[in-house]
C-alpha cells in the first residue's frame, strides 16, 4: 500500500468528503442526515460522507458525487464546493481533512425510503458529530448569501415553476419577504426562465399563474445579477 511522500515522513492525513444536502420542506430549509453505521459516533445522525477513494475518484468532486449517489441515490444535483475543514482535533482517529460540498435538490428528488435517512430543519439541528454543526451552519450561510444575487434557489424546485411559488422559495431561503415587483424584475433580468407557452397553473379561485421552466442554457448553470435582490 503506497504511503504519501512527505518531506519528513509525517503521519499522514485522513481525507474525506462530506456533503451538505439541502432541500426545502414546507417553508424552511432542511438538511439530509444519515445515521452513522460505524465508529466513531456510531448511531448519531451525520452528513453523508466518506473517504476519498484514490483509485476510483479522479477529483474530490467525483468523490462527493459518488458519496451522494451511494448514500442517498441522488444523481445530478447542483453541487459546489463549500470549503475544507481540517485539523488534529476534529476527528478522534487523527489529523483529518474534510472536503465539503453542498448540494440543493427539490424535496421530491429525495427517496425518503432510504435506510436511516433523516431530514432536519437547519434552524433546529440535532446533536451532530465532528464539526458537522458548524459545517451545516456555514453551508446555510453560503446558500443564503448566494441567493441574494443569483438563481441558486431554483435548484430547490422542480423543472416547472410559477413566479409566485419561486418567490415563496426565495423568501423561505432568505427568511424574509421580498418585494414582488423587484423580484419579478430581477428574474426577468437574469433571463434564465422561459414561459411554457399556454401552460398555466390553475385550480384555485383566482387568476392562474404562468408556468415557467429553466432555459436550456441554465439547466446546470447559475445566473447572477450585479445588484442583488436587496432584501
Q: Least distance to a second copy from the beta carbon of 105, Å?
A: 23
- The CA distance from 60 to 142, in Å, is 20
Q: 163: helix, coil or strand? A: helix
CB 119 → a second copy: shortest distance, Å?
Answer: 25
The site partner of 186 among a second copy, DNA, none (C-beta below 5 to 8 Å per kind) is DNA
Q: Write the burial class of residue 119 (CB in 10 Å: 0-12 exposed, 13-18 middle, 19+ buried).
A: middle
With a CB cutoff of 8 Å and minimum separation 6, the contacts of 139 are 20, 22, 31, 82, 100, 102
**Phi, psi torsion values for 59, nearest 5 degrees:** -140, 170
Please classify residue 165 by burial: count the beta carbons closer than 10 Å to its beta carbon, then call 0-12 exposed, 13-18 middle and 19+ buried. middle
The answer to whether 162 and 210 are in contact (CB under 8 A) is yes
Q: Is 198 in the site for DNA (CB under 7 A)?
A: no
- Helix (H, G, I), strand (E, B), or coil: what is residue 93? coil
Residue 40: all three cell numbers together:
466513531
Annotated catalytic, 115? yes
Q: Interface with a second copy includes 12 (CB under 8 A)?
A: yes
Residues 71-110 interacting with a second copy (rule: CB under 8 A): 81, 83-84, 86-89, 93-95, 97, 99
Name the residue nearer to a second copy (CB basis): 13 or 123. 13
Residue 80 or 171 with smaller CB distance to DNA: 171
Q: Would you give the binding string for DNA spanning residues 116-155, x where CB under 7 A is met? A: ----------------------------------------
- Catalytic choice (39, 56, 108, 115): 115
Q: Could you say which of DNA, a second copy, none residue 43 binds, taking C-beta under 5 to 8 angstroms by partner kind?
A: none
With binding defined as CB under 7 A, does residue 163 bind DNA? yes
Residues lying near a second copy in the complex (CB under 8 A): 1-15, 38, 50-55, 57-60, 81, 83-84, 86-89, 93-95, 97, 99
Amino acid at each position: 500500500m503506497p504511503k504519501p511522500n512527505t518531506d519528513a515522513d509525517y503521519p499522514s492525513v485522513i481525507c474525506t468528503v462530506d456533503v451538505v444536502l439541502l432541500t426545502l420542506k414546507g417553508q424552511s430549509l432542511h438538511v439530509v442526515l444519515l445515521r452513522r453505521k460505524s465508529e466513531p459516533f456510531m448511531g448519531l445522525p451525520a452528513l453523508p460522507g466518506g473517504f476519498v477513494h484514490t483509485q476510483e475518484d479522479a477529483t474530490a468532486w467525483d468523490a462527493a458525487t459518488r458519496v451522494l449517489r451511494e448514500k442517498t441515490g441522488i444523481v445530478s444535483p447542483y453541487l459546489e464546493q463549500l470549503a475544507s475543514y481540517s485539523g488534529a482535533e476534529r476527528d478522534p482517529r487523527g489529523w483529518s481533512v474534510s472536503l465539503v460540498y453542498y448540494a440543493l435538490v427539490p424535496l421530491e428528488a429525495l427517496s425518503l425510503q432510504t435506510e436511516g435517512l433523516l431530514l432536519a430543519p437547519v434552524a433546529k439541528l440535532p446533536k451532530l458529530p465532528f464539526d458537522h454543526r458548524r459545517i451545516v451552519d456555514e453551508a446555510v450561510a453560503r446558500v443564503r448569501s448566494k441567493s441574494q444575487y443569483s438563481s441558486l434557489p431554483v435548484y430547490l424546485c422542480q423543472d416547472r415553476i410559477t413566479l409566485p411559488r419561486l418567490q415563496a422559495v426565495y423568501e423561505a431561503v432568505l427568511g424574509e419577504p421580498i418585494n414582488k415587483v423587484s423580484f419579478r424584475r430581477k428574474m426577468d433580468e437574469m433571463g434564465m426562465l422561459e414561459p411554457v407557452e399556454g401552460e398555466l397553473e390553475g385550480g384555485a379561485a383566482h387568476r392562474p399563474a404562468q408556468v415557467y421552466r429553466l432555459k436550456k442554457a441554465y439547466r446546470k448553470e447559475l445566473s447572477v445579477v450585479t445588484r442583488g435582490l436587496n432584501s
